[in-house]
Structure 1
Amino acid sequence: MASYNPNTRVVVAGVDYTEVHDEWMNPDIMKKAKSGNTRVVISRSAQRGQLMVGDEVAMDFPVCLGTSTHKTPLGHFNITEKKVHHVSNLYDASMPYFMRLTDGGIGMHVGPVFRTPQSHGCIRMTRSSCVPLFKTVKVGTPVRIVP
């Protein structure tokens, strides 16, 4: 298996999507996604995420991560649960398209995405990037959160 590379640059028509607040998706690569060849890489410092299919970037998207007092954890995780309609039992907040990463409630879901960390540890995504990611990944898909 290829190593994770959160520094993969995605340049399309002269726009470097690793440096802007935009999102990018390659439909041809998305069609190749299967349960055994996908993984997600989240960069805490860049506040960006990538869906990798094999060694290819299928999606590159902005994320909003945890604040300094509620940091998004670093490390290797697997998606353990997927729920279209999820409500946080800690904050009574709606977390659509929730993909659980930890038993402590950390996951990826639709929510406000700012250029600075503002979540309580979760990985918030725009609806336009979270929904296709949710539909593509499976329970068990590896997720790596890097500095």
Structure 2
Amino acid sequence: MPFKPTFRLMLLTGLGLALLAFAWLALSPRAPASREPLPPTNEGAFAEPLAPPSAAARNDSLVIKRILPIAGPIKYGEWHWDAKNVPQGSVVITVDLEARVLSVFQGGYEIGATAVLLGTAEKPTPLGLFPVKWKKQDHYSSTYDGAPMPHTMNLTPDGVAIHGTKVEKGYASHGCIGVPDAFAARLFAVTPVGTPVYITKGMMAKLGDSLT
């Protein structure tokens, strides 16, 4: 006679199989936990201020590395120039109204210095930073009766410029910075348009100073 399982027997058999499967899973070795790194987050990304750039990262070509060895104050009509063995670099011009001296630096090395003529109380030489706007080798004033202004390097819209002239005690300009003609020619040759000209009063630069 064929065996016919009852519903109760089927239920007990299914329950027994389920218990065996659970026991097998409980005793099986587990796979090791994943060590994949978590994706980065932006949390706290701006919690600390950025560190300032190191001294090595600054523009070293604008730090003064040499001052020309000039004995005593520069007299009217006197000028000095020495660019021998000076590496190529940014050109910066400084003018101090109190000392009445113009200096030119290339890559941080002073290559030229001269006494200058300056403006009067009525037409003063302005203070500030003035990039060279344009240059003209043979220029004549359109304001002052066609006065010659050789090797002109214009600084302002109203005509203030660095240019060659006769630099003598007792003379003055209408706001321009007058330099000896021979010096003006050398300065003109090394000064591209856009060169910064810093005009100060009583702020002579020294070794290690920045030219900006």
Bin the TM-score by the shorter chain: 0.7 to 0.9
Counterpart residue identity of residue 10, structure 1: L
Identity rate of aligned residues, in percent?
Answer: 28
Decide whether the 8 Å contact of 1:26 with 1:58 is kept in 2: yes
Are residues 1:11 and 2:64 paired?
A: no
Matched residue, 1:135: 189
Extract unaligned runs of 5+ from structure 2: 1-58, 202-212
Distance across 2 between alignment mates of 1:113 and 1:129: 11
Decide whether the 8 Å contact of 1:41 with 1:143 is kept in 2: yes
Out of 128-137 and 107-116, give the one that drifted further: 107-116
Distance across 2 between alignment mates of 1:102 and 1:27: 28
How far the C-alpha of 1:32 sits from its partner, in A, is: 3.0
Matched residue, 1:120: 174
What is the total number of aligned residue pairs between the two structures?
137
Decide whether the 8 Å contact of 1:47 with 1:115 is kept in 2: no
Greater radius of gyration (CA)? 2
Distance across 1 between alignment mates of 2:88 and 2:144: 34
* Deviation sequence 1:31-88 (CA, Å, 0-9, x none): 5345xx1010011111110001122111011110101111000000000110011111
How far the C-alpha of 1:133 sits from its partner, in A, is: 0.2
SS in 2 for 1:10: coil
| Higher relative helix content | 2
Matched residue, 2:153: 99
| Higher relative strand content | 1
Matched residue, 2:80: 24
Distance across 1 between alignment mates of 2:171 and 2:198: 18
How far the C-alpha of 1:24 sits from its partner, in A, is: 1.2
Are residues 1:146 and 2:204 paired?
A: no
Extract unaligned runs of 5+ from structure 1: none
Higher normalized contact order (CA 8 Å, seq sep 6+, divided by chain length): 1
Distance across 1 between alignment mates of 2:88 and 2:133: 18
Counterpart residue identity of residue 77, structure 1: F
Matched residue, 2:132: 79
Which contiguous aligned blocks of 4+ residues in structure 1 show a shift greater than 4 angstroms? none
TM (norm. structure 2) is 0.60
TM (norm. structure 1) is 0.84
Q: How does 1:36-55 map to 2 (within 5 A)?
A: 37-55=90-108
Decide whether the 8 Å contact of 2:131 with 2:194 is kept in 1: yes
How far the C-alpha of 1:116 sits from its partner, in A, is: 5.1
Distance across 2 between alignment mates of 1:114 and 1:61: 12
